[in-house]
């Protein structure tokens, strides 16, 4: 596990964008695994700026997203499809038909999750997976539990995740209670993983992820076992690392 310590959020975003830009430049038809949330927004902004400068071409890129709320349509402004369109896809030349987010409108969880796994397989797996880190150590919506889930599956969101996400909804009651998420195996099979972590409120969990035991109680700790993980953390998030 490599840890790149950066000054602040903008510096973290620029350095994470460097890694993604290198991936797209070296393999223009690569498959990017993408995340939502506040951590990668700056990275996406940076990638858009590089596209606008003529330095990056997304025309051959395919993307697969980690997760989606069950029950939300892509036109809902809190859906992860909407987030991706708004924060990245609408601003670069990626072909929309090559961007895949789990289908939150599919009520049959097995069908929705099986379809997402089939897409990942069909596109040949993920070249670079971008991740954020939840306060409880979750990646995607793989919450702390007693095992590491494998493929895409339906999860009941924990109270702490509902609490963290309620800022995006009118109230905690409006936050969907379930989501479809890639599993730990989907993530671990990515050839390269980049994790963006920002803020003092992530310092304790980042220390557990990097220096603690590998345990499903801290889902991201399994990344210690992946051969190519780069954690790009700002100074506040990295403050407690040895
Ligand atoms: C988002 C996702 C989540 C977030 C995590 C951190 O697609 O899968 O695991 O990456 O909750 O969220 P932020 O970046 O908002 O702190």
Choice among 67, 106, 127, 234 that is catalytic: 67
Query: Is there a domain that residue 240 lies in?
Result: no
Report the separation in Å between the CA atom of 133 and the middle of ligand 1, taken as the mean of its atom positions.
6
β-pairing verdict for 62-65 and 153-156: unpaired
Question: Pocket of ligand 1, candidates 87, 134, 220: which has the most ligand atoms within 8 Å of its Cβ, to mutate?
Answer: 134
Task: Answer yes or no: is 241 within a domain.
Answer: no
Number of domains in the chain: 1
Domain-embedded: residue 57:
yes
Q: What is the pLDDT of residues 17-72, one digit of tens each?
A: 999 999 999 999 999 999 999 999 999 999 999 999 999 999 999 999 999 999 89
Q: Greatest CA span in the chain, whole angstroms?
A: 47
Residue 44 has φ and ψ, to the nearest 5°, of -65, -40
Instruction: Specify whether the backbone of 232 is left (phi greater than 0), alpha (psi in -120 to 50) or beta.
Output: beta
Q: Residue 131 belongs to a domain with what CATH number? A: 3.40.50.1360
Q: Which residues of the chain have pLDDT under 70?
A: none
Atom of ligand 1 nearest to the CA of 37: 15
* pTM to 2 decimal places: 0.96
Q: Which domain holds residue 7?
A: 2-234
**Token couple for 188:** 């671990």
For ligand 1, is residue 153 a contact (CB within 6 Å)? no
Ligand 1 atom closest to Cα of 40? 14
226 classed as catalytic: no
Q: Is residue 155 part of a domain?
A: yes
> Does residue 147 sit within a domain?
yes
Residue 73 falls within a domain, yes or no? Answer: yes
Please say if 91 is a catalytic residue. Answer: no
18 lies in a domain? yes
In a domain, 60, yes or no: yes
């Amino acid at each position: 596990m490599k840890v790149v310590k950066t000054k602040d959020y903008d510096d973290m975003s620029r350095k994470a964008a460097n890694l993604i830009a290198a991936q797209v430049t070296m393999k223009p038809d690569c498959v990017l695994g993408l995340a939502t949330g506040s951590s990668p927004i700056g990275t996406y902004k940076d990638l858009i700026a590089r596209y606008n400068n003529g330095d990056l071409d997304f025309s051959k890129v395919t993307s697969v997203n980690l997760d989606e709320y069950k029950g939300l349509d892509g036109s809902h402004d809190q859906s992860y499809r909407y987030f991706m369109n708004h924060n990245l896809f609408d601003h670069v030349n990626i072909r929309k038909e090559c961007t895949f987010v789990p289908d939150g409108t599919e009520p049959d969880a097995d069908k929705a999750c099986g379809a997402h796994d089939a897409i990942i397989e069909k596109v040949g797996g993920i070249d670079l997976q971008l991740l954020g880190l939840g306060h409880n150590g979750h990646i995607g919506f793989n919450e702390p539990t007693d095992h590491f889930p494998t493929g895409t599956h339906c999860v009941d969101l924990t109270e702490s995740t509902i609490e963290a996400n309620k800022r995006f909804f009118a109230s905690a009651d409006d936050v969907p209670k379930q989501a479809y998420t890639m599993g730990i195996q989907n993530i671990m099979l990515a050839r390269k993983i980049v994790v963006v972590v920002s803020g003092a409120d992530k310092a304790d969990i980042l220390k557990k992820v990097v220096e603690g035991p590998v345990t499903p109680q801290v889902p991201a700790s399994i990344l210690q076992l992946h051969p190519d993980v780069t954690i790009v953390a700002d100074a506040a998030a990295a403050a407690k690392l040895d």
